[in-house]
Structure 1
Amino acid sequence: MTQAARCFLAIAEAGSIRKAAGRLNLSASSVNRHLKQLEWHLNTPLFDRVPTGMRLTDAGKLLVAELQTAEQRFARLANDIDSLKGLKQGHISIGVVECFGREFLPEILTELRRDFPGLSIDVHIERNSVLTEKLLAGTIDLALGFDLPEFPEFRTIADYHIPVGLVFSPSHALATADRLPPLSDCLKQDLLLPEKSFGLFQTLEHVAATAGIRLHPAIVANSIESLKTLARNGTGITFLTALDVYDEVTRNLLCFHPIESNIQLTEHLRLCVNAHRDHSHVEEILAPRIGRDLRRVEQRLFDFLQQPVQM
């Protein structure tokens, strides 16, 4: 901000040139000279000289508002620059679910390290329940997980709905069928399901209950990787998200078929921070950047789902 602008704001706040000069540690003649220069530059009086002191004109009131806004913007800019410096030289801890950590996270981390070479990163590949605990405890700065709880401590930076589909081996009988059986019939087959603590199991259980079916899975596992291996071996069929099987389907190791049902089958993927902790550099710079990368991933998944079903 120029000296003339500082003098103007001081006069507006103090109500007189003499008081403004005292606050600025300048002579009254110097403050008055700066004011006259500003009025000459704007070609309009900024104060009315009245017996009680200096009273802002309408033009002066507009200038006060503009200068105060500029001060606030500059303060935010200075804070952003400080945050950026902290990010370039700092540390961040990210927690993600298994499927994202394997396929998409390495690409994002490579770009982050390229753009912020001084940034060190801890990566936690965890289940949703553990991500929730770690974000609450402050062990991680960011959590990306499915159906994270709607806790008041969590602030959502970005969220996406990832389709759930039927997953089976290319050698499975379903792969050569003219069309897939109804969802209710699929739920009666040899099911490979995640354990009950997984949000996906709860979603499927709700769908089954709506159809009047009780789930009797052949195998229950606490690992998505194990379920994919079992499905690939032809042991049974499973239900997973497009994110879980993106790599295997693109390499023709598994088939993925979106579910046709009256109930929309999706898993809610959320990127969250702990709202009660100071994450200025994370929220203002890094989280929007990761959110942008996630939108790119979402587009890749959309393109992936538009491809002909592997049958």
Structure 2
Amino acid sequence: MYDPTRLAALVAVAEAGSIGRAAARLGYTAPALSQQLAKLEREAGTALLVRHHRGARLTAAGELLLVRARRALDELDRARHELAQLAGLSGGRLRVGTFMTAGTHLLPPVLSAFRRAHPDVELSVTEYEPPLGMRAVALGEVDLALTHAYVPGDPMPAPEGVRLEPLLTEELVLVTAPGHVLSAGQGRLPLSGLAGQPLVSMAPANPHRRGVEAALAAAGASVAVRCESPGYAVVCALVSAGLGVAVVPEMTAAGSVTPLGVRRLEPPELHRTISVAYRPGGGSPAADTLQALLRGAFTRGGAVQ
């Protein structure tokens, strides 16, 4: 059975004429949408797109599937609307908390799918730096919140009455300026290979910084923190400018607007887990529906791959 998310990606490319424009319309990054289309081609067992310098066009097989995809998506939209009316999702409000990376790369396509299915539900999104999103759920300020935890890093238990459902785990990777010697090697780079490198790091109280620096120290890599920034966008920009190297989540590296060299690290145990915080038994039908969409999109390797 074809995944509706991938069928929607095919329709978007057919209408937009390029993967980049289709990705912007759906709220994906272009690489993420390309992976969705590649998976659809594997499901179909044939090429569906021909990429060229001006964009992309559908093959004969792609055109055939496009007709069926539109019909299937229309039927699914009708079913969602009818079910929403039965479940009380024809109105009301859904309040969502997120942190910057998830709000930029993960949440938009899921909220877009929710909006298509439930256009009458009012949506609001508020940014919280973890772990503040969990507290917002506990206080009833938002219905759900995306949050994260790092390994290594200080554990952040959920407040009373709040549970965490893990959605995805991503590695922490080394980012450097383009052409840097550390990003040019093959295979994983041992943490000890960062010894003596100037490190662009987060603010001193950030648990990610403390955990990464502890791991580097345990591996015998004594680093000098040359720059500090409260956000990954600035960290990546400083790294790209040659002010040092950094250890960041893989999604952050892939979504950087400045050019970077990227290399995986050894051991691969350094990672970040992204979870959704919620109140068991206290969710509205809209919150339960969005949580199911988040679970489906991420745990099956969908929108975030």
Between 1:127-136 and 1:105-114, the stretch displaced more is: 127-136
Which AA in structure 2 matches 1:224? Y
Alpha carbons of structure 1 residues 199 and 283: separation in structure 2 relative to 1, 3 Å? same
Distance 1:207 1:176 in 2: 23
SS at match of 1:202: helix
Distance 1:219 1:274 in 2: 39
Alpha carbons of structure 1 residues 284 and 105: separation in structure 2 relative to 1, 3 Å? closer
What TM-score do the two structures reach when normalised by structure 1? 0.61
Counterpart of 1:211 in structure 2 is 219
Deviation of 1:116 (Å): 0.5
* Higher CA-based Rg: 1
Alpha carbons of structure 1 residues 157 and 129: separation in structure 2 relative to 1, 3 Å? closer
Residue of 129, 135, 139 corresponding to 1:127: 129
SS at match of 1:294: helix
Q: Would you say how many aligned residue pairs link Structure 1 and Structure 2? A: 217
Counterpart of 1:184 in structure 2 is 192
1:286 to 2:290 alignment: yes
Which AA in structure 2 matches 1:253? P
Counterpart of 2:66 in structure 1 is none
Counterpart of 1:19 in structure 2 is none
Q: Is the 8 Å Cα contact of residues 191 and 219 (structure 2) preserved in structure 1? A: no
Counterpart of 1:267 in structure 2 is 272
Deviation of 1:187 (Å): 4.7
Residue of 90, 95, 98 corresponding to 1:96: 98
Counterpart of 2:87 in structure 1 is 84
Counterpart of 2:255 in structure 1 is 247
Which AA in structure 2 matches 1:166? L
Give me the CA root mean square deviation. 2.7
Counterpart of 2:26 in structure 1 is none
1:231 to 2:231 alignment: no
Distance 1:159 1:206 in 2: 26
Residue of 102, 105, 108 corresponding to 2:107: 105
Question: Comparing both structures, which one devotes a greater share of its residues to helix?
Answer: 1
Counterpart of 2:141 in structure 1 is 139
1:34-78 CA distance string (max 9 Å, x none): xxxxxxxxxxxxxxxxxxxxxxxxxxxxxxxxxxxxxxxxxxxxx
Distance 1:229 1:83 in 2: 49
Deviation of 1:82 (Å): 7.5
Alpha carbons of structure 1 residues 137 and 125: separation in structure 2 relative to 1, 3 Å? same
Q: Is the 8 Å Cα contact of residues 84 and 285 (structure 1) preserved in structure 2? A: no
Alpha carbons of structure 1 residues 294 and 103: separation in structure 2 relative to 1, 3 Å? same
Deviation of 1:219 (Å): 1.0
Structure 1 gap ranges (5+): 1-79, 303-311
What TM-score do the two structures reach when normalised by structure 2? 0.63
Q: Is the 8 Å Cα contact of residues 146 and 199 (structure 1) preserved in structure 2? A: no
Distance 1:189 1:270 in 2: 32
Deviation of 1:179 (Å): 6.5
Which AA in structure 1 matches 2:177? S
Distance 1:81 1:180 in 2: 48
SS at match of 1:88: coil
Q: Is the 8 Å Cα contact of residues 190 and 236 (structure 1) preserved in structure 2? A: yes
Q: Is the 8 Å Cα contact of residues 174 and 180 (structure 1) preserved in structure 2? A: no
